[in-house]
Amino acid sequence: MANLSPTLGPLIFLTGSQSMATLSHTLPSASALPILQPKTFTSNSIKCCENQRETVKLSNNGLATFPEKNALRSSASATVRPPRPRRIILVRHGQSEGNLDETAYARIADPKIALTEKGMAEAEECGLEIREMIERDKIENWKVYFYVSPYRRTLETLKSLARGFERPRIAGMREEPRLREQDFGNFQDREKMRHEKAIRMLYGRFFYRFPNGESAADVYDRITGFRETLRSDIDIGRFQPPGDQNPGMNLVIVSHGLTLRVFLMRWYKWTVEQFEQLNNLGNGKTIVMEKGYGGRYSLLIHHSEEELRDFGLSDDMLMDQEWQKFARPGELNYDCPMMNSFFTHFADEGCKT
């Protein structure tokens, strides 16, 4: 029989008639076994404060004992993925009948609220601004791909916005129900809605659920599903024809004010408190997530610090956006500024373990 255990010696199979004394002679004494000494950790062996500009390198954690995972990684690395889209551009719809006259919601179903003439003009101007932004990249074969809420006002916004693009520039579009407006509860009486919105301010803008409608937390749940779809589309290069490696792809998401704020909250892992301090985008306005030097998307590339502060970003959120500019996909910001603002005892104790 082969020697399967170098520590214990050859394995011996005993029948019931063999004595325990025989078995005892086959095992080494306790003194012959290696003694594992417990590893002592000191305050110097654990670092709790790292330079914010430094990013965490990816490791092979979990692969050493699973060679099949190494094989999968090698196979995946052999396939060159298409470049990530250069931007994710979030667009709020143009002025709608409901924005102009709140009583419209009492007689017209929310999904059927149309744009005003001003809203259509806002959307068309927005499309021209997006085109100018993209053309500054000096990439010849740039394209746009659209995701749009199925509500009438967002569909009309997209139609007006897309007038700034020739057909070859539009890679495609997808109507996405998860991008719809927060549900406020079917037909909406103006006075009742004013009362409900006042209660929401007392209860909390994120968790308050409108009767027969949704809370922002409900929107967060469905946006989480959409985000996973979007990330999958980005990873497999769904926007690119087979074999294409176009670095000039731009995604445009046409949706609603609260839905877009929740999308940003989910993407950047903002807290409820941080979400509640955000301001709504204006009609026909954009907020741009642009690919940074490491491949992640940051708001601080296209937008100035002043613009983002007006939108509602705090110091902690801005510091994280600065990190996003240089980080790579898959990296984590272990020196996340929110750690110090949330765990206030750090200031008293210093960097202790």
Instruction: Give the residue numbers of the binding site for substrate.
Output: 92-99, 153, 192
Element (H, E) at 115: none
The residues with which 175 forms a beta bridge, in sequence order, are 148
Has 93 been annotated as catalytic? yes
Q: Measured between alpha carbons, how far is residue 303 from residues 118, 284, 353 in Å? A: 25, 17, 38
Instruction: Give the Cα separation of 92 and 112 in Å (integer).
Output: 16
Under a CB-based contact definition with an 8 Å cutoff, are residues 322 and 294 in contact? no
**Angle CA(317)–CA(318)–CA(321) in degrees, nearest 5?**
90
Per-residue b/e over 257-295, b at no fewer than 16 CB within 10 Å?
A: bbbbbbbbbbbbebeeebbbebeebebbbbbbbbbbebe
- Burial class (CB within 10 angstroms; exposed 0-12, middle 13-18, buried 19+) of 129: middle
Sign of CA dihedral 117, 135, 298, 268: positive
For 113, other C-beta atoms within 10 Å of its C-beta total 20
Number of C-beta neighbours around residue 136 at 10 A:
8
322 given a catalytic annotation: no
Whether 53 and 320 have beta carbons less than 8 Å apart is answered as no
| Single-letter amino acid, residue 236 | I
Coil, helix or strand at residue 147: strand
Contact 157, 115 (CB under 8 A): yes
Q: Which of 122, 156, 176, 181 is catalytic?
A: 181
Residues with a known catalytic role: 93, 181
